Structure 1
Amino acid sequence: MEQNEILAENPDPDSRIFGLTGGIGSGKTTVAKILENMGFSIYYSDARAKDLVNESAYLKSEIIKLLGEDAYNKDGLYNRKYVANIVFTNPGKLDVLNSIIHPAVKSDFKNWLQNREDKEIIFKETALLFELDLDKECHQSVLVTAEDNARSKRVMDRDGKTYREVLNIMNKQMPEKEKIKRADFVIYNNGTLEDLQNEVEKVKSEIMALQF
C-alpha cells in the first residue's frame, strides 16, 4: 500500500501509526509496556480482540456459525481452548475466523484513535501484523524478536508448556527471518530487561528523528 493510501485510510491524518509485533515469547508485550511508560499511546489489538468476541453479539453469532455452540462456554464467554484446538489444525477455518474478527478490531481501533488527545505517534500492537498483512494499514512497523531458545524458554516458564508444544506453535508462525526483512525497525530481546530497555530507547530515538 502506498503512503497516500495509508493516509487516506488513517482515521486521523495527524497520527503516525507504528505496527508493533513479535512472535510467541519474543517480549512484544513487555516492549509495549516500556513504550507506554515512555508516554506513548498503545492500542493492544490482541487484548481488544479477546474483549470484543465476548462483548459483540454479532461476533458471537458469526463465530458460533463457524465453529459451533461450543465456541462459547455455558457462562457465555469465549471458549479459547476449544477454538484454538479447531483452528490450530484447520488453516481454512482460522482464515475465516480472522476475517470475522479483524474488521471488528479495525473499527474498534478507529474509535479508540478518534478519542485520543495524544495522537502524533501511536503504536498498534498485534501478533499477526505480517501474517495478515496488517502492516499495510500502518505507516511503519516495529518487530520484537529473539533467538528461538530464548523464546521457547520464556513460554515454557510462563505457560507451563513443553518444548515440543512451543516448537509446534513457533513452526506455524512466520519465520523470524521473513519478519525481519519486512520490518522497518527491529528490537532484539536476547538479554536482560535492561538490555531490552536500551534496545527500545534506541528505536525510540530513531523514530523520533523521522520527519513526519
Structure 2
Amino acid sequence: MEELHSETQKTEPEPKVIGLTGGIGSGKTTVAHFIEDFGFPVYYSDDRAKAIVNENEDLKAKIKGLLGDEAYDAKGLYDRKFVAEKVFNNKEQLHELNEIIHPAVRIDFEEWLKKQTKYMVFKETALLFELKLNKQCYKSLLVTAEDNIRTKRVMDRDGKTYREVESVMEKQMSEKDKIKLADCIIHNNTTLEDLKEQTERIIFSIE
C-alpha cells in the first residue's frame, strides 16, 4: 500500500515593521535613505499619502466634501498649500482630514507589506506617535536633533523665516515627549558620517 504523506504548507513569517519618525528638520528622510542603502525596504507614508490623494477618486470626493472643491486645483490635483492653510489652525478639521487620509494609507501599506521579503521593513511617517501608529509596529525609531539645529536646517532648505519654522514646530509633538515613547533614538546633531554610523549600529542591533 502506498504511504500518504501530508504536507504542511510553510508560510514565511511576516516582516518586523519598524516605525521611523522625526520632527521637521530632524533628518528622518536622510536616515530612511541610509536604511535603504543597508538593504532594508522603506515605506514612505508621507509620500504615498501625497500620491493617494490624487489617485483615489473616493478619497477626492471625501476631501472636497470636508474642505470644498478648492482642495483641488484646476488640473484636479490636490492643492497642498490651500489645504495646509485651511487646517493649520483648525484642529478639528485637521483631525477629520487625517481620519479620511490615514485609513487609505494604512490599506496601501498593508498591500506593500505583503510584497516584502526581508525580515525587517521600515515605515516612515511624521505622525507615528501622534496617531499612535507605534502600537502597530514591532519597534519605533526616532530621529531627533536640537531645536536650533532643526530650525536652521529648515530655514536653509525651504527658505522659511525663523518664525515660520517655529510655528510649524509648535504644532508638532515635543521632542521630549517623542523621546519618552521611542524604542530607539538617533541623535542627528553632528555630521552625515556620524548619522550613517548611528543608523547602521542601531538598525542591525534590533532583535
* Separation of aligned partners in 2, 1:103 and 1:68: 20
Partner of 2:152: 153
Is 2:38–2:200's contact at 8 Å kept on the other side of the alignment?
no
**Residue deviations 1:110-167 (CA, integer Å, cap 9, x gap):** 111112233x101000000001111111111000000001100110011100000000
Runs of 4+ in structure 1 off by over 6 angstroms are: none
Partner of 1:94: 94
Amino acid at match of 1:111: E
Q: With structure 1 as the length reference, what TM-score do the two structures score?
A: 0.91
Partner of 2:81: 81
Amino acid at match of 1:83: V
Amino acid at match of 2:159: G
The 1:65–1:13 alpha-carbon spacing in structure 2 relative to 1, beyond 3 Å, is: farther
* Separation of aligned partners in 1, 2:15 and 2:176: 29
**Residue deviations 1:66-125 (CA, integer Å, cap 9, x gap):** 00000000000000000000111100000000000011000000111112233x101000
Superposed displacement of residue 180, structure 1: 0.3
Amino acid at match of 1:177: K
Superposed displacement of residue 199, structure 1: 1.1
Amino acid at match of 1:37: D
Superposed displacement of residue 182, structure 1: 0.2
Partner of 1:168: 167
Is 2:15–2:116's contact at 8 Å kept on the other side of the alignment?
no
Larger Rg: 2
Provide the identity percentage: 59
Q: Give structure 1 stretches of 5+ with no counterpart.
A: 1-11
Matched, 1:19 2:12: no
Amino acid at match of 2:179: I
* Separation of aligned partners in 2, 1:103 and 1:14: 21
Partner of 2:123: 124
Q: Give structure 2 stretches of 5+ with no counterpart.
A: 1-11
* Separation of aligned partners in 2, 1:141 and 1:23: 14
